[in-house]
Amino acid sequence: MPVIDSAIYVDGVRVESPKSLEEAYRLRQELHGFAWIGLYRPTAEEWDSVSREFDLHPLAVEDGSTGHQRAKVERYDRTLFVVLRPARYDDARERVEFGEVHLFVGHGFVISIRLAESPDLAAVRQRLESTPELLRLGSEAVLYAVLDRVVDDYEPVIGGIENDIDEIEDQLFGDANDEFLSRRIYELYGEAAAFGRAVHPLIGMIERLRRGYEKFDVDLELRRHMRDVLDNVTRVSERVQASQALLDKALTVHSALVARHHTEVSMRQDEQVKKISGWAAIIFAPSLIAGIYGMNFDYMPELHWPWGYPMAIGMMLAFAGGLYAIFRSRKWL
């Protein structure tokens, strides 16, 4: 069922748990409390029902029903439309998995809509119901509590990214020639950037809410609580930026180390080619002399001399020795 939970609160206490949207509308009017209706991927009929009951702006409904929205807060008449991007980190795949939560917050009602499995808004509801003094502050307390939960869930995400960066740094200076390292750095940089796009807008959003967004009054006590959330999300945002900077530097260092390795390999190959060429030249001279004087030519008078062959061998050795000395002096051997 798309309706996950529905409750009517009076003076910070849950007094009714309606089983349908129509029952929630009726009890809200009868008890003069505020309703918190939780939906999960509502149908078109449910969208039409809540939009008519709470007079939701068509543009906000369109954005809410479409999904894939960026984090933002917008005001339509007396209703706030808030989009949040909760996240969790899959360490095995080094991926940030995003959810999406839409909140319609108005006088006497909150409609929370989840488009993914996270976050666990049931835990948020239980926390609020255990602190009636906070829930007594009305629908804005629900907005604060959901914001606080989403930001708290960001901590393990940035922690997971930072742990993977530590692994990359160890790998970078241990085995920088790993062919998959560049891809790992680049993909993790992309995940950090996507996470940053979910985190950074919250800073401005919470600041506007604390000041009273377009005269949308927030209780003083809630403003103090939101200050704490603002501090937390600011720290997460700074850590995300630092992680992106480290990954950018890691990619640069890895590229330099790979280029250096290729240069060293090329230089070693050049040295080997020089040595092979040098020995080939040295061997060529004796081979040439041996080829000439090793044949029984009748018309080569030196072959008939008593010292002919020893002289040929001496010439061969002298020539090869001269080449060897030249190559050694040039460090080709």
Give the pLDDT score at 255: 72
Residue 77: pLDDT band by 50, 70, 90 thresholds? confident
pLDDT of 234 > 90? The answer is: yes
Give the pLDDT score at 138: 87
Least confident of 3-17, 113-127, 209-223: 209-223
State the DSSP string of 249-309. HHHHHHHHHHHHHHHHHHHHHHHHHHHHHHHHHHHHHHHHHHHHHTS--TT-GGGGSTTHH
pLDDT of 307 > 60? The answer is: no
Average pLDDT score over the chain: 81
- Report the percent of the chain where pLDDT is more than 70: 71
Q: Give the pLDDT confidence of 285-302 residue by residue, as tens digits.
A: 566 555 655 555 555 555
- Highest mean pLDDT, choosing among 11-25, 65-79, 164-178: 11-25
More confident residue, 205 or 257: 205
Q: Spell 178-201 as b/e; 16+ CB within 10 A means b.
A: eeebeebbeebbebbeebbebbbb
Give the pLDDT score at 162: 95
Give the pLDDT score at 308: 56
For residue 247, what is the DSSP state? H
